[in-house]
Structure 1
Amino acid sequence: MIRLHKGPPPDILVNKAAEWTKEYKDALAAKTMTDTIRYRYRHADIKLALRRDSHNKCIYCESDIGFGQIDHIHPVTKCPDEIVLWENLALVCPECNTHKSDYHAPTEPLINPFVHEPSAHLLFLGSMVVAVLGDAMGLRTLKQMNLNRWDLIQKRTKRLERLVPLIEQWRAHPDGATKTILRNAIRDEASDAMDYAATVRAYLKGVLGWDHPPDASAPDTAVATSG
């Protein structure tokens, strides 16, 4: 999980959010709900904007997802006013959507990567994730979302296995243009758009001492010769 930032809402929400919310609440009260009213938030323009904001990954586990599902960060069963609230919509994988279910505890929230800095609450140790010692939000999120489920451990492991040969090539080259190119390629592996970026960033920090984002003021040779 990495820190994410909400971009502007799509025009369809700017123009229709209030109308759709009222329509949903009226149908809920009158028990005349239809799929059209219930699933307005699945509009193609909304999903496209959500893909942009999450880098086409699940906001929780960082799995690269094809179709994906639109999740309400605050479940609409408990927050009907937020049925199409832009800040309440996010792209998630089916597994995380199932694990999150209708969890809602305003005084004990899960990590919302659009609001919180995940690295302040979770530590990525190889392919595993642990909560920062004594951090209740990290612990809740880790357990509720089951962030150490077996399929995720396998995917993170394979992600690191793909990274290691690139690091070995970088280490084998003397200082120069090739080493710099390889260094930049390694840095790219930790970019927001890459799957399991939090895992990669923690690995690079632990093995090479590299921070993300890199310190722009540091000389290139100092970064290139680290480790």
Structure 2
Amino acid sequence: MIKLSRPDCPEELEKLKDELTQEYKDTKKTVWKRKFITVPLLKMSNDKCAFCECKLGEEGKYMQVEHFHHKNEYKDEVVDWNNLLPICIRCNSHKLDHDTYLLPIIDPTQIDPKNHLEFYKYRMLGKDDIGNLTVEVLDLNNTTEIATPRFQIGNAVLEKLEDVLEVVQNFDVDSKDATEKARVIRKVRALLKKSTSVNIYCATVATVLLTAPDYLLLKLEMEKKALWTVELQKIEDSVANIALDQRERF
């Protein structure tokens, strides 16, 4: 889970909010399934579930509109823009009618998850009560559905890191080969970008990459050979902003 920046309320929703709210109260219709709502929600999360970060639109992972404060209990917020999130059916089925006013969990558009969650062996752990409750309510450590995909994508990045480190170590500074230098930098850039916010499970990937011993060696070697650029540092900074603290042990 990562911090999401909510865009301004869609103009059409602003105009129709009262009408749609009343329609829901009268009929219980799913008045939130409108493109002017769903499209900007998906864009906000880079087509991912706001909670588990799986890719929405894949088989069995179609998007649902989440009412952070449950629509049955808080009907006036049924199309309140600040109450809506893109969610997968798995997370939605776990959250159900949990009362987020009485028992708060993380709303990633309001709270930075990294302040309340940390990482241990591909598991999300709470740093405090709100983090612990978020993990439990959303079942964020379900082995089959979440933890295993996290491990698979994290392990793939570590394997890629090994390959890129070898390329960097083999680069001969004295050769002054500009083409090879550009190729090395490009490979490191591509590796870092696998951890940026547009990618699935990016909180996991960012954490795994930045804490890997091989990554520390990679950066040291890049700096030693004058290959580390301002652009690479900017990408790393953005990755560090979404990486979670890693717990050494329980």
The question of a shared fold, defined as TM-score above 0.5 by the shorter chain, is answered with yes
1:172 aligns with 2:177: no
In structure 2, list runs of 5 or more residues that go unmatched.
172-180, 218-225, 233-250
- Equivalents in 2 of 1:57, 1:204: separation in Å? 20
TM-superposed CA distance for 1:48, in Å, is 0.7
Q: Percent identity?
A: 27
- Equivalents in 2 of 1:84, 1:164: separation in Å? 42
- Equivalents in 2 of 1:209, 1:8: separation in Å? 39
- Match of residue 221, structure 1, among 205, 228, 240: 228
Residues 131 and 47 of structure 1, relative CA distance in 2, 3 Å threshold: same
Output one character per residue of 1:17-56: Cα deviation in whole Å (capped at 9) or x when no partner. Answer: 122123333x1xxxxx25xxx2110112211111001110
- Match of residue 141, structure 1, among 134, 140, 147: 134
SS state at 1:99 partner: helix
- Corresponding letter in the other structure for 1:167: L
TM-score by length of 2: 0.76
SS state at 2:228 partner: helix
Output one character per residue of 1:167-186: Cα deviation in whole Å (capped at 9) or x when no partner. Answer: 11221123532221111111
Q: What pairs with 1:53-202 in structure 2 (closer than 5 Å)?
A: 53-66=44-57, 67-132=62-127, 135-150=128-143, 151-174=145-168, 176-202=181-207
- Corresponding letter in the other structure for 1:74: H
- Match of residue 32, structure 2, among 24, 27, 41: 41
SS state at 2:32 partner: helix
In structure 1, list runs of 5 or more residues that go unmatched.
28-32, 211-218
SS state at 1:92 partner: strand
TM-superposed CA distance for 1:6, in Å, is 0.6
User: 4+ residue runs of structure 1 moved beyond 3 angstroms?
Assistant: none
Output one character per residue of 1:98-156: Cα deviation in whole Å (capped at 9) or x when no partner. Answer: 10011114253100000001011111234211112xx0000000111110002211111
TM-superposed CA distance for 1:10, in Å, is 2.3
> Would you say the 8 A contact 1:41–1:84 is kept in 2?
yes
